[in-house]
């Protein structure tokens, strides 16, 4: 009987208790948009690595759809959004989505859509967040260690942080922190974890001496386009309603991404003498990451300011990588960590309750939100770095983190998977 309840855990069969068909269709469509982002991220990253690592790099993103997709249903959603424990983490009441309905809303999270629609939408955020980290250790991490790391990081880093900021009773949510679509939950947590991974795994063989030229920037631009396309679901979908907040977030998302791409292009043109495709792609992603936490609380002028500033600070943050001599292969910390941090702080500056009555005013509108945003950025960064460090130490006892030098020289496509991305 217990097994039957578990396997049939579609939840209480209820009538349409306030469910809005338009909101439901919007959130399901946005879930599909956000899902596309993770394979798009694989293309974005794979184009920037050497040819011998292209397939392995795509697979690290693609497999997150499967791995996290299963873990989220088993326990991840319950830990992130379940009944609160001490403001830190959710319960396991919803294990395997037991009593999570497909026909009734949850008033704490989604009053106008079925609870399971909210589950699958949030699953897509959980999927892409550990995938973002893979860019930091590209071309050198063992696949076995990567699977261990991704599963554990989701469990003890992502789920608690998600609960702090978005879960009912989460301590940062109770404090009044505003993170509309994941500046801290997604970008700071993954960006800082990426920095820790880069430091712990060490540099790629030949880093600083050999050429590490991207093998296919056309692939990277296609990935950028898919990410930009999916980001509308990421940000505008976070309204959870087909309403004016979704429209505002949609416009802010495109405006910030477009502004950041242009500013990065001009900064690079001034600094290096030539504008590049990789620079335009990097600027667009930085702008989209930075506007994420603010998108549902700001107008287009603020979105332009966020996009312009993030390109400057992320561009020079990446320049500092050479000075500090760490190998964040694809600049995850420089783009997502730094960009996400600026976005959280910018929310504290530009948020307006006139745009979203569920939010508070930022500093420029007479509010006191900025201090709370600073606390969120600092705490999430510290927690993600420390716990990531501990996880890598523990996993290193179970299995080596890095491939052998000969395997790294051969490339991860052959050494880890016995296949290649290209047969030329």
Supply 403's token pair: 């491939």
CB count, 10 Å around CB of 419? 11
Is the pLDDT at 7 greater than 90, yes or no?
Answer: no
d(CA 81, CA 161): 11
Neighbours of 225 (CB within 10 A): 15
Q: What is the 3-state secondary structure (H, E, C) of 195-242?
A: HHHHHHHCCCCCCCCCCCCCCCHHHHHHHHHHHHHHHHHHHHHHHCCC
pLDDT surpassing 70 at residue 6:
no
Of 423, 419, 405, give the one whose Cα is nearest residue 142: 405
Q: Which residues contact 209 (CB under 8 A, 6 or more apart)?
A: none
- Mean pLDDT of the 65-79 span: 98
Q: How far apart are CA 111 and CA 118, in angstroms?
A: 10
Measured distance CA(62)–CA(71) in Å, rounded: 15
pTM for the structure as a whole: 0.95
Structure-token pair, residue 328 = 């964040």
Give the tens place of pLDDT for each residue, 119-155. 999 999 999 999 999 999 999 999 999 999 999 999 9
What is the predicted pLDDT for the residue at 16?
A: 58
Residue pair 317/326 in contact (Cβ under 8 Å)? The answer is no
User: Shortest CA distance to 130 belongs to which of 72, 83, 75?
Assistant: 72
* N residues, the chain: 424
Dmax over CA atoms of the chain, in Å, equals: 70
What pLDDT was estimated at residue 360?
Answer: 96
- How high does pLDDT run on average in the chain? 95
| pLDDT tens string 313-362 | 999 999 998 889 899 999 999 999 999 999 999 999 999 999 999 999 99
pLDDT of residue 322: 82
Where residue 424 falls among pLDDT bands split at 50, 70, 90?
confident
Over residues 111-125, the pLDDT tens digits come to: 999 999 999 999 999
Q: What pLDDT is stored for residue 208 in this prediction?
A: 81
Please report the DSSP string for 95-109 in residue order. GGGTT--SSS-BTTT
Structural domains for the chain: 18-202+215-399 (1.10.3430.10)
264 within 8 A of 286, measured Cβ to Cβ? yes
Taking 80 as the threshold, does the pLDDT of residue 272 lie above it? Answer: yes
pLDDT in tens, 364-383: 999 999 999 999 999 999 99
Question: 298-313: per-residue pLDDT in tens?
Answer: 999 999 999 999 999 9
Least confident of 6-10, 270-274, 288-292, 381-385: 6-10
pLDDT tens for each residue of 176-234: 999 999 999 999 999 999 999 999 999 999 988 888 999 999 999 999 999 999 999 99
């Amino acid at each position: 009987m217990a097994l039957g309840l578990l396997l049939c855990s579609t939840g209480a069969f209820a009538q349409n208790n306030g469910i809005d068909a338009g909101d439901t269709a919007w959130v399901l469509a946005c879930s599909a948009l956000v899902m596309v982002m993770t394979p798009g991220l694989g293309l974005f990253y794979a184009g920037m690595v050497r040819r011998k690592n292209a397939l392995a790099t795509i697979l690290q993103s693609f497999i997150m759809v499967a791995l996290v997709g299963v873990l989220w249903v088993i326990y991840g959603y319950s830990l992130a959004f379940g009944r609160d424990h001490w403001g830190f983490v959710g319960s396991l009441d919803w294990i395997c989505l037991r009593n999570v309905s497909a026909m009734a809303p949850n008033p704490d999270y989604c009053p106008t859509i079925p609870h399971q629609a909210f589950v699958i939408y949030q699953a897509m955020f959980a999927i892409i967040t550990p995938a973002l980290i893979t860019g930091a250790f590209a071309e050198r991490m063992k696949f076995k260690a990567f699977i261990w790391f991704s599963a554990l990081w989701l469990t003890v880093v992502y789920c608690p942080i998600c609960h702090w900021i978005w879960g009912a009773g989460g301590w940062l949510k109770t404090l009044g922190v505003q993170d509309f679509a994941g500046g801290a939950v997604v970008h700071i947590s993954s960006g800082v974890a990426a920095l820790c991974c880069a430091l712990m795994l060490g540099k790629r063989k030949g880093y600083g001496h050999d050429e590490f030229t991207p093998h296919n920037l056309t692939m990277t631009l296609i990935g950028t386009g898919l990410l930009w396309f999916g980001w509308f679901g990421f940000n505008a979908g976070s309204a959870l309603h087909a309403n004016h907040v979704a429209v505002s977030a949609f416009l802010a998302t495109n405006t910030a991404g477009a502004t950041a791409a242009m500013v990065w292009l001009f900064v690079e043109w001034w600094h290096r003498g030539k504008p590049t495709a990789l620079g335009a792609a990097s600027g667009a992603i930085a702008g989209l990451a930075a506007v994420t936490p603010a998108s549902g609380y700001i107008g287009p002028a603020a979105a332009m300011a966020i996009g312009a500033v993030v390109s400057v600070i992320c561009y020079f943050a990446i320049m500092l990588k050479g000075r500090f001599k760490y190998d964040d292969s694809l600049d995850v910390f420089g783009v997502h960590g730094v960009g996400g941090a600026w976005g959280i702080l910018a929310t504290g500056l530009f948020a307006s309750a006139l745009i979203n009555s569920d939010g508070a005013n930022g500093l420029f509108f007479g509010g006191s939100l900025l201090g709370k945003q600073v606390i969120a950025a600092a705490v999430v960064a510290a927690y993600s770095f420390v716990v990531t460090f501990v996880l890598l130490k523990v996993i290193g006892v179970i299995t080596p983190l890095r491939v052998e030098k000969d395997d790294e020289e051969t490339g991860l496509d052959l050494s880890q998977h016995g296949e290649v991305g290209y047969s030329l």
